[in-house]
Amino acid sequence: MVESSTLIRKLYTTANIRKMNETGLLLKAYYEALYEQLEAERNHLAILIERLLTQEVAKRGFEGFDDQKYEAYIETCLAFIDERIEAYNPIGFQYTFERVRAREVAELELQLNWYDSRAEFKILLETAHAKVEPAVTEKRLGQLADELIKKVGAFPDSSIITAYEVEPALIKLPDYVVARAIEEIVR
């Protein structure tokens, strides 16, 4: 009896490890699909940013928002777009050096960001884990990644949008506008 329960536990653990590896593969495909979509829509993102920034400034009535400040915010948003696209790049600059300990990087990011994306990341992981299929083809993996994007959007946009809407502020405005523009593209 002890031997069969140990075997069952091993099989369950092996199955879980395999599913976690498949989930990781799906997440990589998700980030690559985001990269490809956003790279292809870079010009459209710039147009969306101008529209969304204009709407948000008018909606919130931010004072002292002259042409010079408006242009500075547009430039900041465009730089943030480049940063986000590069963050999703599967062969980007961030992968050319040794990996820094993931836990330390995640903790530092949480300290630097004005939004908390832990709950959103948990949802992304759970949704990806639920979508995993055994022995998936490359084509099907791409389809699953697209489905994942349609369902959860681009991480961490939901966290950014929610935190901004709770407490709007000029300092948060570029992140918010970029998140909204990306979500319009990917959903």
For residue 62, which phi and psi values (nearest 5 degrees)?
A: -60, 130
160 alpha carbon, distance to own chain's centre: 10
Is pTM beyond 0.75? Reply is: yes
- At residue 163, does pLDDT exceed 60? yes
pLDDT value of residue 2: 47
Sequence ranges of the domains in the chain: 2-186
pLDDT value of residue 112: 67
pLDDT value of residue 11: 43
Residues 6+ apart with CB under 8 A from 3: none
Sign of CA dihedral 101, 159, 34, 176: negative
Note the pLDDT tens digit of each residue in 34-92. 999 999 999 999 999 999 999 999 999 998 889 999 999 999 999 999 999 998 988 76
pLDDT value of residue 97: 47
Residues 6+ apart with CB under 8 A from 87: 94
Which DSSP symbol is given to 63? T
Q: Answer yes or no: are the C-beta atoms of 129 and 23 closer than 8 Å.
A: yes
User: Rounded to whole angstroms, how far apart are CA atoms 186 and 18?
Assistant: 29
User: Rounded to whole angstroms, how far apart are CA atoms 57 and 64?
Assistant: 10
Q: Answer yes or no: are the C-beta atoms of 60 and 160 closer than 8 Å.
A: no
Coil, helix or strand at residue 62:
coil
User: Rounded to whole angstroms, how far apart are CA atoms 67 and 147?
Assistant: 40
> Average of pLDDT values for 105-125?
81
Structure tokens at 166: 């709770």
